[in-house]
Amino acid sequence: MNQPIPFVDLNFKLAVVQELMYNQALLPKFDLREYAAEKGFTYEDGSVEAVPEALEYFEALEVPAGLAEKVTEIDMDGGNEIYLEIAPNWDGEDGLFDVDEFADVRSFPNLKSMTLLYTGNEEALKALRARGIEADWL
């Protein structure tokens, strides 16, 4: 049985899901327009805020532990599809998708490289580098 990866930080999970869903196509793609039509809700297309239903979808999404080994790099960028599916007009000017906790890296033994949205948390960079992960700000 393939247990789901237990994530501590939702934004770290979103960065992983970007890699697995949109970059590697190992998870079914989430499309906000289709999901809204299917579930019968509306959202403001021009908002920079997260659409609650989209955020709930990703919170509930189970990522099979067997996919953890497929994640070798994480590239967080304001233009990543996952962010635009959650907050369609997000401009990257706030900390909406900043990772606060990096304990989740323990679940990804092959993770070698991370490009992070800038938070100024130099301790996080040092901790990631100490694990052998090339980490830097976007």
Cα–Cα distance measured from residue 19 to residue 25, given in angstroms and rounded to the nearest whole number? 8
**pLDDT tens digits, residue range 120-130?**
899 999 999 99
pLDDT in tens, 14-68: 999 999 999 999 999 999 999 999 999 999 988 889 999 999 999 999 999 999 9
What is the C-alpha to C-alpha distance for residues 49 and 68, in angstroms, rounded to an integer? 29
Task: Please tell me the predicted confidence (pLDDT) of residue 91.
Answer: 86
Query: Burial of 38 by CB count in 10 Å (0-12 exposed, 13-18 middle, 19+ buried)?
Result: exposed
Angular region, 86: left φ>0, alpha ψ -120 to 50, beta rest: alpha
Phi, psi of 17 (to 5 degrees): -65, -35
Question: Alpha-carbon distance 55 to 86, whole Å?
Answer: 6
What does residue 106 show for φ and ψ, rounded to 5 degrees?
-60, -25
pTM exceeding 0.75: yes
- Beta strands 73-75 and 134-137, pairing class: unpaired
Residue 87 pLDDT class (50, 70, 90 cuts)? very high
What residue type is assigned to position 69 of the chain? E
Q: What is the pLDDT of residue 1?
A: 54
Asked if pLDDT for residue 107 goes beyond 90, the answer is yes
Residue 90 has pLDDT above 90, yes or no: yes
